[in-house]
Amino acid sequence: MKKSNILSSPVKKVKIDYFTGQVKLHEISGITKPKEHDMYHVIFKKSARTKLHYHTGGQLLIVTKGNGSLVFYNKKNRGTSKFKISKTEAINLNVGDTVYIPAKILHTHGSVKRNQVFSHIALNFYPVKGIKSQTIWYESDFRSNVISKIP
């Protein structure tokens, strides 16, 4: 058995290209090293959110602070780095909420209020045991256009 604390877990450097504002990422699974998922405590500062993305494995979010949102998108054409999107669902997230996002579903999540911090625990499930889930990121206008894939 290995014990960890989300507040003292190592801070992982985040790529600023993947977010619209300040985000702090604690890597919880860095201590326990599971073979089925990665686990992070993600803290979104005032109105920060993820850019459009999907995971090759499912993702579970557990809200730990503040109010946030999760928005699902549908891809409208076959492009790989430039394509049209449409919002299919927007879900308000509050402390204690849990939500499962299936693999390969385009989405974004984060804080909704300018003066409030939002945080959640994210479990990114491996599509196959021992093979880490990948996250595919996109630059978009969050309304109808994906401009490019983010490396």
What are the structural domain ranges in the chain?
11-150
pLDDT at 109 (0 to 100): 98
Q: Which CATH superfamily is domain 11-150 in?
A: Jelly Rolls (2.60.120.10)
pLDDT at 35 (0 to 100): 85
pLDDT at 130 (0 to 100): 86
pLDDT < 50: residue spans in the chain: none
Please report, rounded to a whole number, the percentage of residues in the chain having pLDDT higher than 70: 98
Contact call for residues 25 and 14 (beta carbons, < 8 A): yes
pLDDT digits (tens, 9 = 90+) for 78-111: 888 999 999 999 999 999 999 999 999 999 999 9
pLDDT at 33 (0 to 100): 76
